[in-house]
Amino acid sequence: MYVRWVVRRHKNARVADTIFHDAYLVESFRDQRSSPRQRTVCYLGNIREIGEQFPTIERELFLLRAERILQSVKELSSADCELVMEMLRQRVRPLEDHEVMVAFTENLRWYRNWWEQRGSGLSDEELFQIIRAATGRPGPV
């Protein structure tokens, strides 16, 4: 099995510097005449490349969705799933620690601004309680 990438440019390439990458899990086999053929096992999803980069959050979402799709394919073993995930990670690199920290910080900033704009901002303690609940930590953060 291998991953086939189908690459498509945005319809208006002069305006949008966007390329779409579609991933398919494909297996090779021989037909009745012993001719080599390929069969699509499943569609693994797509990801946009904007200005020669895959956006940070889209990388993570693409890999998460592909992993869930692979787990739902009954004829794949867990070893096969991990092998395919490694093939995907060669093109779409997983997030690094600093990228996760930036995303987490920006999300907290966005939520706090959203609440404050509606006059219902959270106190620091309420925010820490949410974080403690989300991480399963009973004590102070």
Cβ burial of 14 (10 Å; 0-12, 13-18, 19+) is exposed
The H or E element spanning position 56 is helix 56-72
- Over range 33-48, report the average pLDDT: 93
pTM for this predicted structure: 0.76
Name every residue whose Cβ is closer than 8 Å to that of residue 36 and which is 6 or more positions away in sequence. 28, 29, 30
- pLDDT, tens only, 91-111: 999 999 999 999 889 988 888
Whole-angstrom CA distances from 67 to 39, 42, 72, 84, 92 are 20, 12, 9, 9, 13
> The tokens of 21 are what?
């990458």
Using the predicted structure, report yes or no on whether residue 16 has a pLDDT greater than 80: no
